[in-house]
Amino acid sequence: MKGQHQAMNGMKALVALGLGAVLAASGCVPQGAQGGCPPLDSCGGSPVGNYTHILDACQFQAVRPAQPVDVMAFGAITPAAATIAPPQPNPVVLQQTTSGDWCSNLVYLTESPEDAVLNVVLWHEAPILTGAQIAFSDDHSYLTTGLTFSTKSLGPERNTTHFAPRCLLANGAAAPTCMKLQTGLINFYKMTAVPSATPNFTSIICAGDALTTGCDCTYEYQVTVSDVGNWAVDGDTLLQDSSTGGFTYNGGAVPSQAPATTIQTTFCAQGNTLQLTGPRGGSLFGIQGLRTLMLQQ
């Protein structure tokens, strides 16, 4: 019995060791800010100040998801709201057979005098933080007016969507060309009652042979996040309440992206610098992927 008990303990230890290895390999073991971002100092202090310079930032870069191989017809709709996380497959269904993501949800029709894009969801990488303007006031209010993210520095190879010939022909377009597709994409992103709330795709250029190899469309993507709310301090944790309703992407309200709970951030305020870390894998300012940030007044 003693030997059996020891064997069972040994088996439990091996199972625990194996599980630990799996968790470590999958990134499930808590590691500060996580996502490859080590935590910054957390000394607390007073965050009061107007911070306009980025000294350092760390973002978790999402991986482009696999694309299914089917096409779905769409009606003419408004472009989707701006996001920082890249477009993802439908998380509800097990098999993505009719989502249309293989063609980036493209609906491309022939209309006189130009072909028209009625729907599309262009892929974009997670944009990189390029600018910040954040003010914490003595009255315990805060104002974020310029957290700007852009894919410009990632280069054209990371800002490209390929449209195969069958994607261009799927909805009846006659004699499509990449130049006509380019014009259709540009016009599509102008088609909204609230232009500032839509994705900011610029420098759209489509090239290739539409009927043989398809079209490769390059572009740049930018999102500017603004927010207003109240702050408090609990030890080395900065609490931000964004429930006052001032959270916007590209100037437009996007409720689906707004923080639903108080944002908790470990921080260290010393002199004219402010270090922020998303605790236990959390994100800063309710922005997916932004894990640590060091600012200066």
Highest mean pLDDT (candidates 7-16, 135-144, 191-200): 135-144
Q: How many angstroms separate the CA atoms of 105 and 160, rounded?
A: 15
Q: Which of 8-17, 114-123, 195-204, 216-225 has the weakest average pLDDT?
A: 8-17
pLDDT of residue 180: 93
CB 150 within 8 A of CB 201: no
Predicted confidence (pLDDT) at residue 140 exceeds the cutoff of 60: yes
| 170-225 per-position pLDDT tens digit | 888 888 999 999 999 998 888 765 655 677 889 999 999 999 999 999 999 998 98
Mean pLDDT of 93-110: 62
- What phi and psi values does residue 157 have, to the nearest 5 degrees? -65, -20
pLDDT of residue 238: 94
Q: Which of 167-171, 193-197, 254-258 has the weakest average pLDDT?
A: 193-197
pLDDT of residue 171: 82
Mean pLDDT of 242-262: 79
Predicted confidence (pLDDT) at residue 13 exceeds the cutoff of 70: no
Mean pLDDT of 3-20: 32
Model confidence band, residue 53 (pLDDT cutoffs 50, 70, 90): very high
**pTM of the predicted structure, to 2 decimals:** 0.72
Task: Identify the bridge partners of residue 150 per DSSP, sorted by sequence position.
Answer: 128, 222
Q: Which of 91-100, 130-139, 173-182 has the weakest average pLDDT?
A: 91-100
pLDDT of residue 182: 95
- Read off the tokens for 217: 């469309």
Rounded to a whole number of angstroms, the distance between the first and last alpha carbons of the chain is: 68
- What phi and psi values does residue 102 have, to the nearest 5 degrees? -60, -35
Q: How many angstroms separate the CA atoms of 236 and 265, rounded?
A: 8
Model confidence band, residue 77 (pLDDT cutoffs 50, 70, 90): low
Q: How many angstroms separate the CA atoms of 202 and 223, rounded?
A: 11
Question: What percent of the chain lies above the pLDDT cut of 70?
Answer: 72
Mean pLDDT of 89-108: 56
Predicted confidence (pLDDT) at residue 62 exceeds the cutoff of 70: no
Question: Which of 199, 207, 95, 208 shows the shortest CA–CA distance to 151?
Answer: 199
Radius of gyration of the chain measured on its C-alpha atoms: 24
Q: How many angstroms separate the CA atoms of 191 and 79, rounded?
A: 7
pLDDT of residue 18: 33
